[in-house]
Structure 1
């Protein structure tokens, strides 16, 4: 299209579907932001109302509970979510984990929408080469628009929709399209879970280099004839640079810290499950809630920690001793430590945990924790309000806790928070 001229019908329709893609992305982003904003408002209301009335409150909605049970917390399979899918000798090949039903629904819907945007409104009565050419152009435009969504940033730049180009320019377009497309294909294969997990540091650096090469290729390919989609690439690069600059500045100003957006202090009851080194995720919650004590909204905090050997208690002994020694901790905090090694079966409370001070709030048990029994006991003791259940540990523990929370959604408002050490 020559500068200053109105776009042709074909060009306008092509741009329409790029705009439709942006609208879809914006709608998905707004839905996510609204959900997060609603969660923040709900936490704030629970906290302020409970503090002012000195009682723990919480609203129960059968619709919300059903949504969480069957979509938000439910994996694609019945119970398997966090456990890795592995094959081969000694489970050496890892394919990662499964999504939740809501995540799978979102991914499927988004893919279907993109496929529809690519293939609808094409004149299939024309010659095969003509409508294939149109599909190629539409696919390039729509997929370039998807660069604005990092999770779906596999874009392939579109071809030229005009015959007023020289042979050299055509060759240059194809060359830069290969420069843009080949790194994207390599990124897809290198991001395969078995490769990514075995060579993560190498994968990360190679992934960044390939992404930069691909963006350069897209830039040169689209900019060869002044496509308006170059604005999309400029926006993507600007957002990418700005996000990393802000991240570095925030780190320099505030220092490193974990995710503190939800401190769990708006819930009347909190149950924290940890498996092995997963205790590192739960300790900040324990210290925060123990520091508030009975003066806060949270009246019951139970930490359940599963370890293989009593000696593993030294990993977090100092932090636990500090939390248990706080003045308000004795009123709200209890700790159950399960030693799962069969060698210690039957010893229970007779086991000595190195580094951990003697405290009546700490209970040492042999075997593996049963999320069903633990949650039933906590629900029986809970008088009112909402409950938060958090887990960080092996996939099998996370899946057991997730299933237990889902099956008890009818008992009141129970929110589930899962953390894991994986990528």
Structure 2
């Protein structure tokens, strides 16, 4: 064993029993009291921000409710009050912060390095502000050390304790925000897609803090003995071995999660992600358990979150798909023109689907573990439209299309429905629903609900514009049945205007407008022109909603933002799933 250094002699005294591992295990040098203060500051700041956001949501919901109550019985002229902006600061906040992309326009349009490599999407301006503030705070907390300490080892030990504490603390929201049953979705009315983005960034923060924690330990371990002894302790001491497992798993999670790898090999990514997440949890749990460290309650909270969330999902699946009298769910997959599938789930139990909801489809014949997220076009979950893109959806289409009847019968399961919690659509006098491709399924339920409620005078709605952009007329067959049902609703002609844009028609004769309220147009949809036509004759406040590919959604967002702050009340909502 190496002789004690002069530094160690000063610390222990000439007659003290020398412990060469003083700063690489235990709480020597760790500023526990400051760690507690910092964790409480994080608790309070996050809870405070959530409370402010909650109050803001309550104010928005109350305002929308008041608008709906007063405008429901109002005619077009009487809704003028709600159509005009009453403040200057709120439109500015919406335009430049809440609805703004990070730069000029790009938000959900994927950044493609090539046809096969996607870098992913950019966060919005508001999301970037939140992520930047939290990341900066974590750096400040990690570096807020007692630099006046005489011993380098004590300073490194303090960094080890701080970074480890923050890593475990951040694992709690990391697991919570990844769950489909995250209670904050309904409490704060924030979409799962936003929480998924925050989950990814929290994962990167946890991985970095875990690496710093391990590196700080290694520095002191090497200084106390040597590099080979540090490796020996990793191999032979369970406390360090399990900690190393957690660190390696965290690093693997970070390395295999960048967008190019995630999108190129999504099914492989998903399986590995779940495996590494389990190993990270297991390693950290046993690491804390062995030395009974004070962070143990947090890791138990993570276990509770995981068990409750998975149990809830399992119960949802069993309730919809399993019946003692009707058996299990069967499904029929029909290949449609335009490379899409109509997937009909014959459920043993029925469930009503609120407007704006989405479900997850399990299709074991295509993938045992993968799910596909989609929006039911009706209030029953049985019929779904799934566009063939890549991976699971492409294999499903190919299987059905290869059959002589272009129809595949197999087993499948539905999980859901889950709500997306958009703005209160019935409180707006004018609603403009932009859809592209299979995104039309998200807006069909909204259209049906708004037209029916307007006809029965239970909503402020007076005008509904359904805009659908497709590549060819083949796509019109996807939802023809449900569209016909909407067009036969009472007073539909007085309320609903449908515009179908076909960007690549096969023949000019395919473009035929049945009536003034159902128009078929050749060429690309230009959202700015649509809004310039709608807004001058608007009734009440205007809601602009979009569901479709990222590039299309960004165009609609830009058009909506460009008309905020010019007198008209315009709100924007986007339905998106970025993975």
TM-score bracket, normalised by the shorter chain, equals 0.7 to 0.9
The yes-or-no answer on 1:48 pairing with 2:203 is no
Do the aligned partners of 1:387 and 1:414 also contact (CA within 8 Å) in 2? yes
Equivalent position of 2:196 in the other structure = none
Q: 3-state SS of the aligned residue for 2:271?
A: helix
Do the aligned partners of 1:293 and 1:329 also contact (CA within 8 Å) in 2? no
Equivalent position of 2:494 in the other structure = 331
Residues 65-100 of structure 1, C-alpha deviation per residue, up to 9 Å, x if partnerless? 101111111111111111111113xx3210111111
The yes-or-no answer on 1:79 pairing with 2:105 is yes
Which structure features the higher share of helix residues?
Answer: 1
Q: 3-state SS of the aligned residue for 2:267?
A: helix
Label 1:139 to 1:38 Cα distance change in 2 as closer, same or farther (>3 A): same
The yes-or-no answer on 1:226 pairing with 2:296 is no
Q: TM-score, normalised by structure 1?
A: 0.87
Residues 114-155 of structure 1, C-alpha deviation per residue, up to 9 Å, x if partnerless? 111111142255333321221121111112111122221436
The yes-or-no answer on 1:287 pairing with 2:448 is yes
Q: 3-state SS of the aligned residue for 1:334?
A: strand
Label 1:258 to 1:279 Cα distance change in 2 as closer, same or farther (>3 A): farther
Do the aligned partners of 1:219 and 1:230 also contact (CA within 8 Å) in 2? yes
Equivalent position of 1:11 in the other structure = 32
Do the aligned partners of 2:145 and 2:159 also contact (CA within 8 Å) in 1? no
Do the aligned partners of 2:448 and 2:486 also contact (CA within 8 Å) in 1? yes
> 1:52 deviation in Å?
5.1
> 1:399 deviation in Å?
1.1
> 1:260 deviation in Å?
6.2
The yes-or-no answer on 1:107 pairing with 2:131 is yes
1:202, 1:260 → 2: CA distance?
27
Label 1:132 to 1:180 Cα distance change in 2 as closer, same or farther (>3 A): same
The yes-or-no answer on 1:351 pairing with 2:377 is no
The yes-or-no answer on 1:320 pairing with 2:483 is yes
1:168, 1:107 → 2: CA distance?
37
1:368, 1:398 → 2: CA distance?
13
Label 1:259 to 1:396 Cα distance change in 2 as closer, same or farther (>3 A): same
Equivalent position of 2:272 in the other structure = 206
5+ residue gaps, structure 2: 1-27, 175-198, 225-231, 321-350, 353-415
Q: 3-state SS of the aligned residue for 1:149?
A: helix
Label 1:221 to 1:260 Cα distance change in 2 as closer, same or farther (>3 A): closer
5+ residue gaps, structure 1: 1-6
Q: 2:92 aligns with which of 66, 88, 95?
A: 66
The yes-or-no answer on 1:380 pairing with 2:513 is no
Do the aligned partners of 1:392 and 1:418 also contact (CA within 8 Å) in 2? yes
Do the aligned partners of 1:21 and 1:146 also contact (CA within 8 Å) in 2? no
Equivalent position of 2:438 in the other structure = 277
Equivalent position of 2:417 in the other structure = 257
Residues 237-263 of structure 1, C-alpha deviation per residue, up to 9 Å, x if partnerless? 212222333344456375733536345
> 1:352 deviation in Å?
5.1
Label 1:12 to 1:183 Cα distance change in 2 as closer, same or farther (>3 A): same
Q: 3-state SS of the aligned residue for 2:461?
A: coil
> 1:407 deviation in Å?
1.1
> 1:177 deviation in Å?
1.3
Label 1:94 to 1:106 Cα distance change in 2 as closer, same or farther (>3 A): same
Do the aligned partners of 1:122 and 1:135 also contact (CA within 8 Å) in 2? no
Residues 370-396 of structure 1, C-alpha deviation per residue, up to 9 Å, x if partnerless? 11111111110014x211101111222
Label 1:261 to 1:79 Cα distance change in 2 as closer, same or farther (>3 A): closer
Equivalent position of 1:187 in the other structure = 253
Q: 3-state SS of the aligned residue for 1:33?
A: helix
The yes-or-no answer on 1:392 pairing with 2:547 is yes
Equivalent position of 1:144 in the other structure = 168
Equivalent position of 1:3 in the other structure = none
Q: 3-state SS of the aligned residue for 1:95?
A: strand
2:56, 2:282 → 1: CA distance?
36
Q: 2:311 aligns with which of 235, 245, 255?
A: 245
1:201, 1:124 → 2: CA distance?
50
Do the aligned partners of 1:290 and 1:324 also contact (CA within 8 Å) in 2? no
Equivalent position of 1:4 in the other structure = none
> 1:198 deviation in Å?
2.2
Which structure features the higher share of strand residues?
Answer: 2
Do the aligned partners of 2:465 and 2:496 also contact (CA within 8 Å) in 1? yes
Q: 2:144 aligns with which of 111, 115, 120?
A: 120
Query: What's the C-alpha RMSD, in Å, of the aligned pairs?
Result: 2.9
Q: Which piece of structure 1 moves more, 58-67 or 149-158?
A: 149-158
Do the aligned partners of 1:291 and 1:323 also contact (CA within 8 Å) in 2? no
Do the aligned partners of 2:246 and 2:282 also contact (CA within 8 Å) in 1? yes
1:84, 1:67 → 2: CA distance?
26
Q: 1:406 aligns with which of 556, 561, 570?
A: 561
> 1:106 deviation in Å?
0.6
